Structure 1
Amino acid sequence: MALNLQDIPRVKTITKEGFLKHYFKPQKPVVIERYIDDWPAYTKWNLDYMKAIAGNKTVPLYDDRHVDYKDGFNEPHAKMKMSEYVDLLKQEPTKYRIFLWNVLKEVPQLQNDFSYPDFGLKLMKGLPMLFFGGRDSYTFMHYDIDLANIFHFHFEGKKQIILFDQKQNDYLYKIPHSLITREDIDFNNPDFEKWPMLKKAKGYKTDLNHGEILYMPEGYWHYMRYITPGFSMSLRAIARNPKNFSKAVYNLLIMRNYDNVMRRLKGQKWIDWKNEQAIIKTHKKNGIT
């Protein structure tokens, strides 16, 4: 048995009006296949280019270890020179990923390789973020703290994507006071005996290739697995839905700080309690005792 996932719709290209009408307003994901062919990045951006232009930069690395109470919010697990990291990606599978790397701040000349597309949303131009991963590395199922509209541009190789909207929260074993599901769920091959409510969740899937753009609507859960080594860039626009915007403000100002305080006060007991509550609350909402 597999997750109940439908293919994310694909278009070759799209107008601003078409995007707003068919995808932004109904808050549905889409893959745009041929929108950035005229960007210098389309032909230049690969791992070798990143090594050449940013090889001396120290980059933050994350792996798939479970949350530890001693970890700060989004605190990296390791650091490495970009040149060493690219070599590692090419040599062997590695769990290390680069997560939320601000490309403009670190390597300003990369700005010359892309432009900000006009999809009818005001993109945050100070926050183009890069994400890198080795073969079979993956992100836990999560949604972004600001519930932004996200445009995810993929470069080099292939990446597996699974998405769920916020309406599926009751089935995903969401961790309370957090942005993730249970970390021991393998969304690539879920154990439905252990996680029976996943059978009720309805989501989306696709494989993202070089030069393709994935639009993820506000607050969408996303799991991403690198089928081959590669990297992506995300551009974001603030949540327009008032409910999502207020939730983003709550996450940033209250939830994140409350969670950090509880980690300091209760340590690993806080993490363990949250993991237990993810199961208890999910099963209770679905009539399982």
Structure 2
Amino acid sequence: MAAEPAPGGSTLWASLWALLPSGKASIEAAAAGLADQVEGSVASLLRQAAALVCGGEAERAARGAGREACLQLSERLCDYAWERLHVGPWREVGAEWRRVYAYGCLFKALCLCREPGAALEEALRACDLGLLLGAPVEDNILASMAEVLQRHLSCSGEPAAAGEQEGQPLKKKIRKDFPPSPAITTEAAVSRLRCPSLEHFQAHYLIPQKPVILEQIVDHWPCLRKWSVGYVRQVAGSRTVPVEVGSRYTDEEWSQSLMTVEDFISRYIENKLQNQTGYLAQHQLFDQIPELKADIGIPDYCCLGEGAEEDIAINAWFGPAGTVSPLHQDPQQNLLVQVMGQKYIRLYSPKESENLYPHESHILHNTSQVDVEAPDLVKFPKFKAASFQDCVLSPGQVLFIPVGYWHYVRSLDTSFSVSFWWS
């Protein structure tokens, strides 16, 4: 049980402090453990920040330190760790630096909430950055803190729209006229199946690796009744998430940016500007925002894989009409569940790879060079001979995409999909 918070702290700070597994002792022990794994200057910052965060008012005054000094130490910790997180490939980043970054974010969020009139949005952003870039610490306390802060923000009123936050009005809506989905012929249509047994799905689709649309298998999911743009804004509007800016990741102008869900909705869904598309493609969204995770489940068909349930990767895909995933392959089996809106999807067997002209670079070797709906047949003449299947995926439908199957996806309107990758 967490130690009692120091007198003088705000009610919010007290509720956040209570989330710590064992209060002051927990933080100080973690700081001491990390001090043995990082350079001396960073270890000193850890100890100082931990002491200021955990100390009572008398101790803080004796050290001549207040809220600002505590924040400065926390930010210096984050800055040191940020540099280490970005010096090379992510897989080579040491776990200790991800933990340092998480503790820096934790200390910063606690400092921001220590006094009445807390900067809730700034504290929540610190929690989200720690969740996205750090490692879980203190029983994943940053996720628990983020839930508390989001509730407080929801009670205090709706967050300001992106343009209002910056003091600049957003431009008038200007939407592109997106083409309808191509006509789907009977011969090319993906097969549809209602609630097949696990044995039937395994024998007729999983083992032979054949795409199929599964119907009525997720009808019980609350998200199909609850989710809308407004609902996502309500439960996650203040949360900071990574957003892909650009209609497709192979475009030269494509980039990634961190912004709140509110900003994303305001800029790219409600006030989408000509030739600008943003897409929330998040591999951690459901861990970051448990309210959304509670509205979905893991389809039983995923249990036919070789891995454990915790090995199943759950991904969120939220964006406006016109967003495109270029023709590409994934290294795992995929169950793609459509929750909001519709998507046009075209599928090519791995046997067609020679006709699909994959990029030669290592980074994009799983992505075709061909623009599926506007192919350059002079440059890519074999593409015309490639046979395919296609479909329009609607809410409540689940598409099984076998491992290695090429697939192209275009959102026909504002869309939210959930995919399950499993081995």
TM-score, length of structure 2 as denominator length: 0.50
What is the one-letter code of the residue matched to 2:269?
L
Query: Which residues of structure 1 form unaligned runs of 5+?
Result: 239-289
TM-score, normalising length: structure 1:
0.72
1:222 aligned residue:
407
Q: Distance in 1 between matches of 2:237 and 2:192?
A: 35
String of CA shifts for 1:71-123, please: whole Å, max 9, x gaps: 9xxx9522321112123313336421122332232112322212222114246
Secondary structure, aligned partner of 1:214:
strand
The answer on 1:153 being equivalent to 2:337 is: yes
- 1:213 deviates by 0.5
* Secondary structure of 2:265's aligned partner: helix
* Cα 1:47–1:8 shift into 2, 3 Å: same
Check the 8 A contact 2:283/2:315 in 1, yes or no. yes
Contact 2:287 2:293 (C-alpha < 8 Å) held by counterparts: no
Which residues in structure 2 correspond to 1:101-140 (within 5 Å)? 101-119=283-301, 120-122=303-305, 124-125=309-310, 127-140=313-326
Task: Calculate percent identity across the aligned residue pairs.
Answer: 27
After superposition, the Cα gap between the structure-2 partners of 1:65 and 1:112, relative to the gap in structure 1 and judged at 3 Å, is: closer
More contact order relative to length (CA 8 Å, sep ≥ 6): 1
Deviation of 1:57 (Å): 1.4
* 1:195-238 deviation line (CA, Å, top 9, x unaligned): 21111211211011111111100111111101101111111211
Kept in 1, the 8 Å contact 2:345–2:392? The answer is yes
Q: 1:205 aligns with which of 390, 393, 396?
A: 390
Instruction: Return the match for 1:173 from 357, 368, 371.
Output: 357
Give the secondary structure class of the aligned counterpart of 2:383.
helix
Larger deviation, residues 209-218 vs 41-50 = 41-50
Q: Give 1:67 shift.
A: 6.2
SS of the residue 2:351 aligns to: helix
- Assess if the C-alpha contact under 8 Å between 2:356 and 2:383 holds in 1: yes
Q: For 1:203 and 1:41, locate their aligned partners in 2 and report how far apart those are by CA, in whole Å.
A: 31
Which structure: greater helix fraction? Answer: 2
SS at match of 1:139: strand
Take 1:106 and 1:56, find their aligned partners in 2: how far apart are those partners? 12
Does the aligned pair in 2 maintain the 1:102–1:127 contact within 8 Å?
Answer: no
> Root-mean-square deviation (CA), in Å?
2.6
Tell me, yes or no, if structure 1 residue 9 matches structure 2 residue 224.
no
Matching residue's letter, 1:80: M
State how far apart, in whole Å, the 2-side matches of 1:86 and 1:36 are.
26
Give the partner amino acid of 2:367.
Answer: I
Query: Number of residues paired by the alignment?
Result: 229
